Structure 1
């Protein structure tokens, strides 16, 4: 893995209605880091995440994940790349209600047609290996006793833990989280945020999280601020109060581009 898990070079994103969501953003997310992306509504933070994750193509500029340029891949190659090297955690979990916890977590491995059995390992053996990996991740995240449960029988916090497990099972270079605590109560939110910190600091993954909540952002190593589609400063070792203060002053001339 390169020292940069994700790098954005002069990213622009303009929609058909001539709205510019990203206006020349250049940013780097180091490997093994936890970064929160924040800004007012319409600042471009969700668009940044979608472009960085390869879910949407920028109008101009380059995106690199784990040293590989995304624009160099066609749609089929891009889909395979995302399944192998990128994990996603969404606000509404995106779990399939008819699948068990274990089946939801195994789904990325089943969908990834590029994952061929190792020499000497049959297809059945590969599936058993995938099941062992899925169970190992679920046990590490405290869900080893919930393998056969359907999502409807889980709390919101437990569902989000399943979503985190699903994001991790393919051993991605980076996990993108879009408002992962937005649908959770305070206690569940703290548990999920602590889990994301564990993903970074104990398992060495990179997490990029979009959030509107200063308390959530305080769990990150650093915060990247956007305003009107442009970078508007950063904050290292954030606290909730410091994040809230910076957000309140994003429109000030002194706040734009200020470094912590």
Structure 2
């Protein structure tokens, strides 16, 4: 199975000597759904930001779809992200003055690419938003806004979608719908999703879980259940002195 994302000995140190990543090596295969978890301060958000090209690691290398992201200039990295990487964030990151359709095609416009309107509408139809193309985000529920964000992530045909706490702002029903949608994107459409989450129930929707503690890999779990994830997190919390 081809690895869509490869991280080689990633280090990230911030001013003041704080080490957020301490030699992390990991791979994310094509067509996989991986959750990244760990106690607060474990480095999981930093891992996502460095893997996605939103931040540059202090040391190590990042490969996405065979291209070394860390070997490019900041400008080239930005262009690469616009064409090969999709993002879903906790707070949706939708522009309030743009309609649903305009928000979805925004990455294509920023990349100087022409939007295929039929395909955009097909994606929105698939996500249950076909009748909301002209609506502004303020008229949508939280779950609907997150589905718009997922549609925006899909429209550029990215190699990988990075999701940072995508259900953190949603009620239980909407969270379940979004997680089911992410899982179907992987299993039915062959996409690759890497999701940072603090929620064992959310992690149980993934194919596997990668655990971090103190900026280092602290194990993994395949075919996770919420109970198994919670138990592993509790031990990680004991280890770093943080309650799970």
Q: TM-score, normalised by structure 1?
A: 0.90
Partners of 1:86 and 1:45 in 2: CA distance: 18
Map 1:107-146 → 2, pairs under 5 A: 107-113=106-112, 115=113, 126-127=114-115, 130-146=116-132
Partners of 2:99 and 2:31 in 1: CA distance: 30
- 1:142 Cα deviation from its structure 2 partner: 1.0
- 1:35 Cα deviation from its structure 2 partner: 0.2
- 1:250 Cα deviation from its structure 2 partner: 1.5
Partners of 1:134 and 1:18 in 2: CA distance: 45
Moved more, 244-253 or 18-27: 244-253
Partners of 1:175 and 1:80 in 2: CA distance: 16
The yes-or-no answer on 1:165 pairing with 2:164 is: no
The yes-or-no answer on 1:76 pairing with 2:75 is: yes
User: CA offsets per residue over residues 89-123 of structure 1, 9 Å max, x none?
Assistant: 0000000000000000010111112x3xxxxxxxx
Q: TM-score, normalised by structure 2?
A: 0.96
> Which runs of at least 4 in structure 1 moved beyond 2 Å after TM superposition?
none
The yes-or-no answer on 1:56 pairing with 2:55 is: yes
Partners of 1:186 and 1:21 in 2: CA distance: 31
Partners of 1:154 and 1:54 in 2: CA distance: 30
User: CA offsets per residue over residues 169-225 of structure 1, 9 Å max, x none?
Assistant: 000000000000000000000000000001101111000000000000000000000
Q: Structure 1 regions of 5+ residues with no counterpart?
A: 116-125, 254-260
The yes-or-no answer on 1:19 pairing with 2:18 is: yes
User: Could you tell me which residue of structure 1 aligns to residue 89 of structure 2?
Assistant: 90
Rate the CA distance shift 1:111–1:211 in 2: closer, same or farther, 3 A.
Answer: same
Q: Structure 2 regions of 5+ residues with no counterpart?
A: 240-244
- 1:71 Cα deviation from its structure 2 partner: 1.6
Q: 2:180 aligns with which of 178, 187, 194?
A: 194
Partners of 1:106 and 1:28 in 2: CA distance: 30
User: Could you tell me which residue of structure 2 aligns to residue 122 of structure 1?
Assistant: none
Aligned-partner SS, 1:250: helix
User: Could you tell me which residue of structure 2 aligns to residue 212 of structure 1?
Assistant: 198
User: Could you tell me which residue of structure 1 aligns to residue 242 of structure 2?
Assistant: none
- 1:252 Cα deviation from its structure 2 partner: 5.9
Please report the RMSD computed on the Cα atoms of aligned residues, expressed in angstroms: 1.1
User: CA offsets per residue over residues 68-107 of structure 1, 9 Å max, x none?
Assistant: 1002211221111101100000000000000000000010
Q: Which has the larger radius of gyration?
A: 1
Partners of 1:148 and 1:252 in 2: CA distance: 50
In the alignment of these two chains, the number of paired residues is: 239
